[in-house]
Amino acid sequence: MPTSSPADTLAEFLAGHSPFDSLTRSELTDLAATASTAEYAAGDVVVGPGVDDIDAVWVVWSGSVDLLHPDDVDGAAPLDTIEPGGLFGFSAMLVGLRTTFTATAARPSVVVRLPGPSVRPVFASTAGVTYLARTIAQSFGGRSIASPSPDGSGLSSAPGGTAAALVRRAAATVDADTSIRDAVCLMTERGSSCVVIPTTRGRYGIFTDRDLRTRVVAAGVPVDTRIGSVMTAPAAVVDADRTPAGVLLEMLELGVQHMPVVDVRGGLVGVLESADLLANSTTRSFTLRRHVEAAVSTDALIEVSAGLRPLIVDLWRTGTTAGAASGILSVVVDALVRRALELAIAASPTQLRGRDLAWLSLGSVGRREAMPSSDVDSALSWSDGLVGREEALRDLARAVHRTLDACGLPADTNNAIASSPRFARSASAWRAAASGWLDDPLGDRGIVMSSLLVDGRVVWGDPDLHSVPDAYREMAVEHPEALRLQLRDALATRARVRSVRDVLARRGTTVDLKSHAVSPIVNLARWGGMSVGVACASTPARLTAAAGNGLLSEPDSRVLVDVFERLQHLRFGHQVDCLSDGRTPTDVVALGELSPLERSMVMDAIREIASVQRRVGHVASTVGVPVPRAVRDR
């Protein structure tokens, strides 16, 4: 076969393979005209060291191509083998990241290179999305998180995968007074593209290869300068239990290539690079997020938000787990909130900077456990320099929520939103309020406000302005009575099939999955987190951290995590069915519409939760609420 081919011959070949088989003849000819072909002998590198090209997709015309992990030695089994008509490299091209594999010809082969600008529109078409959806579904065939994605371009977002599971080695760390020279030497010695610098209050700074080029070499900074003066701080970090797909979306949102991974107590687990996180299950999410970012007006943002519901359905229909789908949905909602706020700030006469203000997401979105039915709980915190401008800031929040409501993201019906004076304060006022809630949990709705604010997560602005969580890190030692009341409140929400109110309302044949089952777990997990000094975290992470705190045993913690994940799966599936039928998503499920297996699962889950609640309540009433050893020893 010749090393170059007329466009019509190549077009005919592409027409026989998905996703190109839906293109018109003229579209195929135009695409083929931009392509290049090359012959490779067995063992030749097609893509890899020295031949790394991220803005292209490769199609095997003849022969076959092996995809290998870059660290594999000669003779190692390939991650995948691409046969004629097969594609590789499209995930890297779609998200603009470097490939994490080496492609070599398994035997004499001809490979077609399709440049990114020409082939990207194919993947934005209906046929392209269908192809990606089918490929994604195949990625959930039982491979481990370390398996390649179907196009061989990186790690797949397999069920159960976490950010921590992708960390392969300890991070290179130095203190802030280390010289740039010594830090770079350590990076070279460890084969790392960054160093992490612990700073104050459990935060971190980071210095990367890119910082070396732009902040040191290009700026002419002496290499004897302390690393603390050129690092990025505070570095954006990610919780260890986040899904890889959600982490990659956040990295793209922030425009960073490295993300330190931390455990529930803020300890450094390692660092993930964007190249580690190529996840083709989020392609549609990337597209929607980029459209959100590009929206130049509130009308444009509202129009773009119409893609949110199809995204939710698409995630579920293509096999994404409930935990991963909730995480991705939370990230996209964050993007909508952030853009709505930026547009409101641009239209406001009040000049604001990121360090002056922090917008917090509360509730399920704050915990990154969003469901299609989730509303938007929010809070505002601002620097003391903005005191006296409270009404203007609340007007800003009202404008944001008007936009979000038009985007299909309604505000919390209980008015837990940033336009309410109770949820909009200066950082020092929040700090004083938190102290008051701990001293007098029954006054000023202290228990309720504590529960809302410890779930808070900053999605725009300065993270240091969210001053509430710090007050709760020593709650078990300094405020044991407040912790006891928090537990009593958590146990007051009993897991049950139905309540007296349900019977009176003739809802005896239904169950509210959130109120009757999920909320009791969330509340118990929140108390458990507080008992061991963990404020902001997901429900499973809080339960895991609290295991063995003196009241919640490790077996009970594992039971609750398992039940929570199964209930979230049922909730997400039910709500997607509602969306598909044109109904408003809800947590109320008719028992008669569930399969026998699903009914049994729901009943068993509620019994398991109720049993744990009884055991925890019995121990608490017998021995009191102990201070966990890990907290006492700090």
Q: How do residues 301-311 score in pLDDT, each as one tens digit?
A: 999 999 898 88
Q: Which of 425, 454, 453, 450 is nearest to 438 (CA)?
A: 450
Per-residue model confidence (pLDDT) at position 518? 95
Of 11-15, 283-287, 288-292, give the lowest mean pLDDT range.
283-287
Give the other-Cβ count within 10 Å of 220's Cβ. Answer: 6
Residues in the chain: 634
Non-local CB neighbours of 277 within 8 Å, separated by 6+ positions: 154, 155, 166, 244, 245, 247, 248, 251
Per-residue model confidence (pLDDT) at position 77? 62
Cα separations (Å) of 312 from 79, 291, 500?
30, 16, 34
Cα separations (Å) of 542 from 133, 466, 571, 617, 629?
33, 19, 21, 18, 17
Q: State how far the Cα of 343 lies from the Cα of 528, in Å rounded to an integer.
A: 38
Q: Which residue has the higher pLDDT, 256 or 168?
A: 256
Q: How do residues 614-628 score in pLDDT, each as one tens digit?
A: 999 988 887 665 655
Q: State how far the Cα of 247 lies from the Cα of 331, in Å rounded to an integer.
A: 9
Q: How do residues 355-383 score in pLDDT, each as one tens digit?
A: 789 999 999 999 999 999 999 999 999 99
Beta strand 80-82 pairing with 56-62: unpaired
Q: How do residues 189-210 score in pLDDT, each as one tens digit?
A: 887 889 999 987 778 999 998 8
Strands (E), 325-393: 357-361, 378-382
Q: Where are the domains positioned within the chain?
A: 7-138, 163-277, 473-634
Percent of the chain with pLDDT over 90: 43
- For the chain, what is the mean pLDDT? 82
CA dihedral over 546, 548, 552, 556, signed as positive or negative: positive
- List residues bridging with 278 in a β-sheet: none
Non-local CB neighbours of 210 within 8 Å, separated by 6+ positions: 257
Q: State how far the Cα of 535 lies from the Cα of 367, in Å rounded to an integer.
A: 11
54: confidence class by pLDDT, cuts 50, 70, 90: low
Q: Which of 136, 137, 409, 389 is nearest to 278 (CA)?
A: 136
Q: Which CATH class is domain 7-138?
A: mainly beta
Q: Is the pLDDT of residue 140 over 90?
A: no
Q: φ, ψ for residue 584 (rounded to 5)?
A: -70, 130
Q: Which residue has the higher pLDDT, 172 or 632?
A: 172
CA dihedral over 449, 453, 455, 460, signed as positive or negative: positive
- List residues bridging with 142 in a β-sheet: none
Helix axis angle, 519-531 relative to 539-546, nearest 10°?
A: 50
Q: Is the pLDDT of residue 529 over 50?
A: yes
Structure tokens at 465: 């302005």
Helix (H, G, I), strand (E, B) or coil at 488: helix
| Contact in structure between 245 and 547 (CB atoms under 8 Å) | no
CA dihedral over 285, 290, 296, 300, signed as positive or negative: negative
| Contact in structure between 434 and 467 (CB atoms under 8 Å) | yes
Q: Which of 417, 367, 371, 422 is nearest to 397 (CA)?
A: 417
Q: Which of 118, 9, 122, 98 is nearest to 48 (CA)?
A: 98
The helix or strand, by DSSP H or E, that contains position 575, with its residue range, turns out to be helix 554-580
Peptide bond preceding 19 in cis form (omega within 30 of 0): yes
Q: Under CATH, domain 163-277 is a member of which superfamily? A: CBS-domain (3.10.580.10)
Of 401-410, 501-510, 531-540, give the lowest mean pLDDT range.
501-510
Which amino acid is residue 60, in one-letter code? V
142: confidence class by pLDDT, cuts 50, 70, 90: very low
Q: Which of 136, 122, 138, 137 is nearest to 21 (CA)?
A: 122
As a whole number, mean pLDDT of residues 37-51 equals: 84
As a whole number, mean pLDDT of residues 101-121 equals: 89
CA dihedral over 120, 122, 124, 128, signed as positive or negative: negative
Q: State how far the Cα of 227 lies from the Cα of 150, in Å rounded to an integer.
A: 40
Per-residue model confidence (pLDDT) at position 296? 92
Q: State how far the Cα of 44 lies from the Cα of 40, in Å rounded to an integer.
A: 6
Per-residue model confidence (pLDDT) at position 160? 40
Q: Which of 582, 603, 585 is nearest to 594 (CA)?
A: 603
Q: Is the pLDDT of residue 421 over 50?
A: yes
Q: Is the pLDDT of residue 134 over 90?
A: no
What is the maximum alpha-carbon separation in the chain?
84
Q: Which DSSP category does 347 fall into?
A: H
As a whole number, mean pLDDT of residues 62-73 equals: 74
Of 28-32, 323-327, 366-370, give the lowest mean pLDDT range.
323-327
534: confidence class by pLDDT, cuts 50, 70, 90: confident
Give the other-Cβ count within 10 Å of 175's Cβ. Answer: 12
Give Cα 320 distance to the centre of its chain.
Answer: 13
| Contact in structure between 29 and 138 (CB atoms under 8 Å) | no
Q: Which of 569, 556, 514, 525 is nearest to 160 (CA)?
A: 569
Of 6-15, 152-161, 280-289, 386-395, give the lowest mean pLDDT range.
152-161
Q: Name the burial class of residue 379, with classes exposed (0-12), middle (13-18) and buried (19+) by CB atoms within 10 angstroms of its CB.
A: buried
Per-residue model confidence (pLDDT) at position 474? 81
Q: Write the Ramachandran bin of 493: left for phi over 0, alpha for psi from -120 to 50, otherwise beta.
A: beta
Helix (H, G, I), strand (E, B) or coil at 543: helix
Per-residue model confidence (pLDDT) at position 506? 47
Q: Is the pLDDT of residue 589 over 70?
A: yes
Per-residue model confidence (pLDDT) at position 625? 58
Q: Is the pLDDT of residue 69 over 70?
A: no
Per-residue model confidence (pLDDT) at position 109? 94
